[in-house]
Structure formats: C-alpha cells, structure tokens
C-alpha cells in the first residue's frame, strides 16, 4: 500500500469514531448547473480544435457526420451521465466507482471500471492546466505589447517556443514567465474548487460563461467586419473566409477517417466519457430535471463551438493570409493557429491589443471552467468515500497535482503532453463511455433508465432515443474504439512514432500513470472495505 493510500485509510478509520452528519452539497440554481456543465464542455477545443478539424475534413461536409455523431453519440451520452449521476447522488456517491456500483450492486468488480472516471479527469487536469495558463499569459502579453515586435510567422513561432522554454532567444531566456502564469492559474483553479460547489464552481461559472460569450461576440464581430485589408486582393474577405470553412467537399464523406474525426470531436467538445458530468449531476436532487437541462447544456456548447469557433480563427486567417496559406495554417495544428496566427492577425488591426486580450481571455475562461470540473471528481471521491472535509481534500489533491504538473512543464518538448492526452483524454474517454453506456442501457435496464430520465423532466425525450441508447450508441462506441485502437492505438502503445531520445521519458510517464491508476484502485478498495451499506435519500 502506498503512503497516500495508507494516510487516507487511517484518516477514514479515525473519522469513523468522530463522524458527524454532514450536509451534502447541492447546486443553488438550474442556471448555475447548466452554466457549470456548459463550462465543463466549452473548452479550448471549441475554438481551436473544431475549426481545424472542419477545415481538414471536408469543410461544410464535415458537419454531416458531426451532427450525426451529436444526435447518436453526444446527446445520448449527455442524458446517460446526467441521469446516472443524479441516481448515484441519491446514494451519496459523486464519482464513477460509487455510481457504477449503484447501477449494478450485485457485481463487486464494476466499481473498479469507475476508476477510469477519476483517473482520466485527473490526468487531463495535470497537463491541461499548464496549456490553459498560456492563454492567461498571452492575454497579458497582448495588453502589454510583449509580442508586438513579432511581425511574421517565424518570429511569432520563436516567441511561443521561447515562452514554453523549448529554446532560448531574444524574447525569453528562461521558463520564468511560463511558470509564473502556471502558478497563478493553478492557484486560481484550487481557490475556486476550495470554496465548494455553490459558492465556488457555480458562482464562478455563472459569471465566467457570460463573460466568455461576450468576449467571443466581440472578437467574432470584429472578424466579420474586417473587410478587405489588401485592396489588391478583394477576394480575401470575411464572407469568402466563412465560405472557405463551410463550403462542403462531399467526397470527404467516403472516408472513414472523417467520420471518426467527427465522432472524436463530439467526445472532446461535450466532455462526455470522462466522469465529470456524472460528478456534477450527482449534486442534483431527485426531482431536478435532467432531460431539458442536459439538452440546454449541449445547445450552449454547440453555439460556442459551431457559431463562435467556426467564425473566428479560419475566417480571420483567410482574410489576412489567403486561401493557400490558410490551408497550411490549418494543417499546422490548433496550437499554432491559436498562439501564432491569431496574435499576428491582431497586430494588423486597429485596437488589436484589446481584441487580442479578449481572444485570449475567452480561451482562458473556456479553459478554467473546464479544468475546475476535471479536478472535482477526485475531490468528491475523497469527500464521499473517506469522509474528509472539503478543505482538507482540496489541500491534499492540490499538493499531489502540483508535483504531477511538473513533467508536462519541464518535459514539454519530449512528447509528455501527447502521451498523457492519449491515455487520459482519448483511450480512457472512449473506453469509459462504452462501459457506462452498456451498464446504463443493458445492466441497469433501459426501461428503468427511461423512467429515471423522466423524473422531474420538463420535456419528454423522443421514444426513438430509447432504441438509440440501448443499441445504436453502444455499437457506435465499440466501432470507434475498435477502429481507432487498430489505426492509432497500437502504434502509440508500441511507440512507433516516438524519437529514440524521448522513449525513456515516455516510459517514465507510463509508469507514473500506471502508479496513479493503481493508487486510485487501491483507494476504491479501501473505501468499500470501510463503507457501511448506504441508505438512499428520500
């Protein structure tokens, strides 16, 4: 047994002797829970990953498999997680191990599949927080003019590499700025989590999400009214920029890769399959609506992604760099688009510092509303299963996460973030979604599940979704899991594309991830050894 597991076990035994009834946390308002869940879903991928995926996979034609995936995968999974989370919360469980156990009480092993629902978010949090801190730093750099000497793609790329500590240049000589903004971001995340569900996460998201949309509207309107900066190239305008992204290439629909890319984007954009929504929904009461609230959270996320994310980055790149260069920019990836191309564009427009700060502040708010949700399952697990009060749980997790965050910072150029993203943000995500869908629709039972989904519901879910949830969604998931594993999973596991010099670092990270997973599994076992049979709340 490792030291952390031993500490928590002894703490739990000690607390059993002095245990006092504690009031379970709950959301204050429906608007608050919708904003929190939408905040969890709306992240960096809405504004950076989505337009790149669309541009690379058939433009407007990409939206056909995208919306098919939304209706057959995203919305069903959202309803499954809202419903299962609320149901498990009735037994005072807020994380996947306990919620899975309530869905299949006769199986003593199912709770260990729920370990993924704590492990995945924790791993994503460890590297996501660092990337998120870049957006706060760049918002500051935009206002102070720190990147204004960079006038082309090469110099702005050097600025980014210097900031990340991947090279020393005239812009940065150390990791000081990057580490400073990481510390600010990290502390801000845990300060919000420390204050709890209502006073912390809900209150923050109720203000952060409207500000995020305001920043998004400001930047989008500015982009749409860019006009034609180069009078000699009148076709380089915002209308043609929108057409560049949304003109359909229907031949792309013949490619399985495009369909998989669309399904993958739905996973990433809705934050389904990682256990976060299960935890958030567990703080609902038995009569709270999940049908309309879940659908509203989906609609809010889709508006951010399709309307705002689809109208800013590619459109502005087209206006200033033209169609050929925009194609190359889209191929260069989301980071290059967000931290190299967009700053260059803002340097070319009046009041560019203000618009640049709005752009990066929007990304920061999208990032932090997601990252606080990623840390919540681990905090909730310590609270629920070991009776640790929230303040001590947050301190304990904060110390562990701080040390876990160091490899992504100092080994950024050695493939560490890609490795953690593969296991925490891709493999575990699809596997977890497949398990919970079968558990909900087949083991718990679709009839019982359907009844549970409609308790307190303000709308009636179309009956076709009973069939979709039981048959289509799990088949879709297993197809994605199998095809993706064959196409991408095996090469990654065998480190086929990893440079020889980086393989020791990747192996070290894999051992670290295995240790984290085993530690959580041990804690689940200890929690169930000490736990008495729960009584469901009225």
Please report whether residue 298 resides in a domain.
yes
CATH value at residue 496: 1.20.1740
Structure tokens given for 183:
């510390």
By CB atoms closer than 10 A (0-12, 13-18, 19+), residue 538 is: exposed
A 10 A CB-CB count for 306 gives 19
Please report whether residue 387 resides in a domain.
yes
- Per the structure, how many domains does the chain have? 1
Residue 158 contacts residue 167 (beta carbons within 8 Å):
yes
Please report whether residue 23 resides in a domain.
no
pLDDT in tens, the chain (538 residues): 454 555 555 545 545 444 444 577 889 999 999 999 999 999 998 998 898 888 888 888 899 999 999 999 999 999 999 999 999 999 999 999 999 999 999 998 999 999 999 999 999 999 999 999 999 999 999 999 999 999 898 999 999 999 999 999 999 999 999 999 999 999 999 999 999 999 999 999 999 999 999 999 999 999 888 877 766 777 888 888 888 888 888 888 888 778 888 888 888 788 888 899 999 999 999 889 999 999 999 999 999 999 999 889 888 988 888 888 888 888 877 788 889 999 999 998 899 999 999 999 999 999 999 999 999 999 999 999 999 999 999 999 999 999 999 999 999 989 899 899 888 888 888 889 999 999 999 999 999 999 999 999 999 999 999 999 999 999 998 888 887 777 777 888 888 888 999 999 999 999 999 999 999 999 999 999 876 555 454 4
Residue 365 contacts residue 208 (beta carbons within 8 Å):
yes
By CB atoms closer than 10 A (0-12, 13-18, 19+), residue 168 is: exposed
DSSP assignment, residue 248? B
DSSP structure string for 33-48: HHHHHHHHH-SHIIII
Q: Per residue in 136-165, pLDDT tens?
A: 999 999 999 999 999 898 999 999 999 999
Q: Per residue in 26-73, pLDDT tens?
A: 899 999 999 999 999 999 989 988 988 888 888 888 999 999 999 999
Please report whether residue 405 resides in a domain.
yes
Domain of 109 in residue numbering reads as: 3-18+29-530
Distance (Å, whole) CA 187 – CA 395: 11
3-state secondary structure of 147: coil
Please report whether residue 537 resides in a domain.
no
Query: H helices within 405-502, ranges in order?
Result: 406-410, 416-422, 428-438, 446-453, 464-467, 473-484, 490-493
Side-chain half-sphere of 537: how many Cα atoms within 13 Å? 16
Please report whether residue 110 resides in a domain.
yes
Please report whether residue 501 resides in a domain.
yes
pTM above 0.75, yes or no: yes
Please report whether residue 24 resides in a domain.
no
């Amino acid at each position: 047994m490792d030291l952390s597991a031993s500490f928590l076990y002894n703490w739990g035994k000690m607390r059993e002797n002095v245990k006092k009834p504690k009031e379970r946390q709950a959301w204050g308002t429906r608007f608050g829970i919708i904003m929190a869940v939408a905040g969890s879903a709306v992240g960096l991928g809405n504004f950076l990953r989505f337009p790149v995926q669309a541009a690379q996979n058939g433009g407007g034609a990409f939206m056909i498999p995208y919306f098919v995936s939304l209706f057959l995968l995203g919305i069903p999974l959202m309803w499954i997680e809202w419903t299962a989370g609320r149901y498990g919360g009735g037994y005072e469980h807020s994380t996947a191990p306990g919620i899975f156990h309530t869905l299949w009480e006769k199986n003593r092993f199912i709770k260990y599949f729920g370990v993924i629902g704590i492990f995945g978010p924790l791993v994503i949090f460890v590297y996501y927080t660092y990337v998120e801190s870049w957006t706060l730093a760049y918002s500051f750099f935009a206002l102070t003019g720190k990147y204004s000497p960079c006038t082309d793609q090469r110099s702005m790329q050097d600025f980014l590499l210097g900031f990340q500590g991947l090279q020393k240049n005239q812009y940065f000589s150390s990791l000081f700025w990057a580490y400073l903004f990481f510390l600010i971001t990290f502390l801000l995340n845990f300060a919000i989590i420390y204050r709890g569900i209502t006073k912390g996460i809900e209150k923050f998201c109720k203000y952060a999400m409207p500000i995020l949309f305001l920043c998004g509207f400001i930047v989008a309107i500015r982009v749409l009214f860019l006009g034609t900066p180069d009078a000699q190239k009148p076709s380089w305008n915002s209308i043609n920029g929108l057409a560049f992204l949304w003109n359909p290439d229907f031949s792309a629909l013949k490619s399985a890769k495009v369909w998989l890319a669309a399904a993958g984007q739905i996973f990433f954009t809705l934050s389904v399959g990682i256990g976060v929504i299960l935890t958030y929904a567990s703080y609902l009461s038995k009569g709270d609506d999940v049908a309309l609230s879940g659908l509203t959270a989906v609609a809010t996320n889709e508006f951010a992604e399709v309307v705002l994310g689809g109208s800013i980055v590619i459109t502005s790149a087209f206006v200033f760099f033209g169609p050929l260069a925009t194609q190359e920019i889209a191929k260069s990836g989301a980071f290059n688009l967000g931290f190299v191309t967009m700053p260059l564009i803002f340097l070319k427009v009046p009041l560019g510092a203000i618009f640049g700060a709005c752009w990066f502040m929007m990304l920061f708010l999208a990032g932090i509303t997601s990252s606080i949700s990623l840390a919540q399952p681990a905090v909730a697990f310590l609270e629920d299963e070991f009776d640790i009060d929230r303040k001590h749980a947050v301190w304990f997790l904060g110390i562990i996460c701080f040390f876990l965050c160091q490899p992504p910072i100092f080994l950024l150029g050695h493939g560490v973030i890609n490795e953690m993203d593969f296991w925490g943000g891709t493999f575990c995500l699809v596997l977890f979604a497949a398990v919970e869908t079968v558990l909900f629709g087949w083991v718990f039972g679709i009839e019982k599940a359907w009844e549970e989904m409609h308790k307190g519901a303000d709308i009636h879910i179309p009956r076709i979704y009973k069939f979709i949830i039981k048959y289509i969604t799990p088949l879709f998931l297993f197809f994605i899991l199998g095809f993706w594993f064959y196409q991408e999973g095996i090469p990654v596991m065998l480190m086929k594309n990893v440079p020889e010099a980086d393989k020791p670092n990747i192996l070290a990270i894999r051992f670290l991830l295995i240790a984290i997973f085993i530690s959580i599994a041990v804690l689940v076992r200890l929690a169930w050894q000490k736990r008495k049979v729960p009584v469901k709340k009225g």
